A and B are shown apart, each in its own frame.
Chain A
Amino acid sequence: MIFKSMGKNSLLLALFALITALILASTDRLTEEPIAESERIAAQKALFEIIPVERHNNDLLLDLQPIPEKYWATLGLESGGDIHIARLDGQPVAAIIPSITAEGYSGDIAMIIGVNFDGSVAGVRVIEHKETPGLGDKVDLRKSDWILSFNGKSLSDPEPNAWNVKKEKGEFDQFTGATITPRAVIHQIAKTLQYFDQDKERLLNNSNNQLSSTNQSISEQPAQ
């Protein structure tokens, strides 16, 4: 008797598992394309903000250069990442470099940093952070335009030791009530510029050679 009811119940459960699995599989199949499209648009939007359409005419999303493993630690990348190269009529104009700092107030701050090939900052965007709302979250362009103050800066302007908040004799503003977050961002941008300085030649050479072989898979944002 008990075996009979057990058998019936387990069959019922199995049936439900099967039906719901089918529903999930078909929903997944149906939404697969729109999801990939949304992800692509979101990734593209951030890239386009840094390197506007007037400054490039290649497919930013597909023009990739992998980052050599020895630089992963400098850029805070645990599992590597790719640099997007922007070019105008085939001529490289800027590189967009993923960079993560762990010096933030709460958790990692993930950024993408655009660097022109003359070594100046093209633009910086924070793409993921968990900083305090109202204080540290001013690194986000939606809350404050502080992040734009890096545009055009380079390692010679200001001097390397001025890449700090004003409170610590640096060049850049901190926020009222938050020093740690902006300091973390400033330091990471400086580090990324130093990395770019070291790796620039390779990027230029490789990207000239590999003009045609850019059909690699689209990079995922580095996992947090």
Chain B
Amino acid sequence: MSEVTKNGLWTNNPALVQLLGLCPLLAVTGTVVNALGLGLATMMVLIGSNIIVSLIRHHVSDAVRLPVFVIIIATFVTCAELVMKAFTYELYQILGIFIPLIVTNCAILGRAEAFASRHSVGMAALDGFMMGLGFLMVLICLGAVRELLGQGTLLADMQLLFGATAESWTLRPFGDGYSFLIAILPPGAFLVMGFLMAIKNAIDWQIKLRAEADKPAPVKGAKRIRTTGHIS
């Protein structure tokens, strides 16, 4: 259980470590609301496809495994697209082509093939949730950093997802009229993504160093003595 959680969120994070699904990741993360919309849609698809793939894993032969997975994923994506079009129309318009393109997010097919087709339904659902959450968190980080650096706001346009009450959530820490173009443009996405990966690697490196420091250092020059019984 905790292994699956840790894998999805950190050690094997689909975006930061596996580097899967970078196309929508980099393209739509101009603001938090875009990132959240695409991240949630991806997560739903991932959970749904993982569950179904796990349910049918004993009934589908290897030869037609991949086409069946692709059909399942495409179905979920199309449903997600229709639902977003029905209930979050403006967000649907902003995300545009990147909603149908969730189907090509290799993270989803990758999890179906590598995990869901080999594990029980519960574990597959958990894996889908955790991988989706890991992806969503990276999307939100990217969106927040780019929105803040690029147009000086945070949580702008949240009403697209949460209704009219969210209109007042917008924060402007730098005041009006601030903008830093490159952060909104694609190069900004690559730069911020690079920094996020570097930070993750640095944290991993620190953890490793600390783990090594905690191990008792072997005493230099100590002789190996063969003993029997207890040494007191």
- List CB contacts (< 8 Å) of B148-198 with chain A: 150-151, 157, 179, 181, 184-185
- A132 and B181 CA atoms in complex are apart in Å by 9
Task: Known contacts A133-B185, A134-B181; decide if A8 and B61 are in contact (CB<8 Å).
Answer: yes
The answer to whether B85 has its CB under 8 Å from any CB of chain A is yes
Residues of chain A contacted by B86 (CB below 8 angstroms) = 31, 34-35, 38
Number of interface residues of B (CB under 8 A): 29
The answer to whether B68 touches A13 (Cβ under 8 A) is: yes
Give bound CA distance, A135 to B151, whole Å.
11
Taking CB atoms and an 8 Å cut-off, the chain B residues in 61-116 that contact chain A are 61, 63-64, 67-68, 71-72, 74-75, 78-79, 82-83, 85-87, 89-90, 93
B71 & A16 in contact (Cβ 8 Å cutoff): yes
Residue from A13, A27, A132, A135 in contact with B64 in the complex, judged by beta carbons closer than 8 Å: A13
CB distance from A149 to the nearest CB of B (A): 18
Chain B residues in 8 Å Cβ range of A13: 64, 67-68, 71
Known: A12-B61, A42-B89. A20 touches B72 (CB 8 A): yes
Chain A residues within 8 Å of B68, by CB? 12-13, 16
* B66–chain A nearest beta-carbon distance, Å: 11
Whether the pair B87, A133 counts as a contact (CB closer than 8 A) is no
Whether, in the assembled complex, A9 has its beta carbon less than 8 Å from a beta carbon of chain B, the answer is yes
Chain A interface size, under 10 / 10 to 19 / 20 to 34 / 35 or more: 20 to 34
Prevailing SS type, chain A contact patch: helix
B60 within 8 Å of A (CB atoms): yes
Q: Residue on B with the closest CB to A23?
A: B75
List chain B residues, Cβ under 8 A from A42.
Answer: 89-90, 93
Q: Does B85 contact A38, Cβ atoms closer than 8 Å?
A: yes
Inter-chain contact A24/B61, CB cutoff 8 Å: no
- CB < 8 Å neighbour of B83 from A31, A39, A135, A142: A31
Q: Does B8 belong to the interface (CB within 8 Å)?
A: no
Point out the residues of chain B lying under 8 angstroms from A16, CB to CB. 68, 71-72
Does A157 interact with chain B (Cβ within 8 Å)?
Answer: no
User: Are A35 and B90 closer than 8 Å at their CB atoms?
Assistant: no
On chain B, the residues within 8 Å of A142 by CB distance are 157
Do residues A12 and B64 form an inter-chain contact, with CB atoms below 8 A?
Answer: yes
Partner of A135, one of B63, B74, B90, B181: B181
A residues near B, CB below 8 A?
A: 5, 8-9, 12-13, 16-17, 20, 23-24, 27-28, 31, 34-35, 38-39, 41-42, 132-135, 142
Using CB atoms and an 8 Å cutoff, list the residues of chain B in contact with chain A.
Answer: 30, 59-61, 63-64, 67-68, 71-72, 74-75, 78-79, 82-83, 85-87, 89-90, 93, 150-151, 157, 179, 181, 184-185
A-B contact pairs, 20 of them (CB 8 A): A12-B61, A12-B64, A16-B72, A17-B71, A23-B79, A24-B75, A24-B79, A27-B79, A28-B82, A31-B82, A31-B83, A35-B82, A35-B86, A39-B89, A41-B89, A42-B93, A132-B185, A133-B30, A133-B181, A134-B151
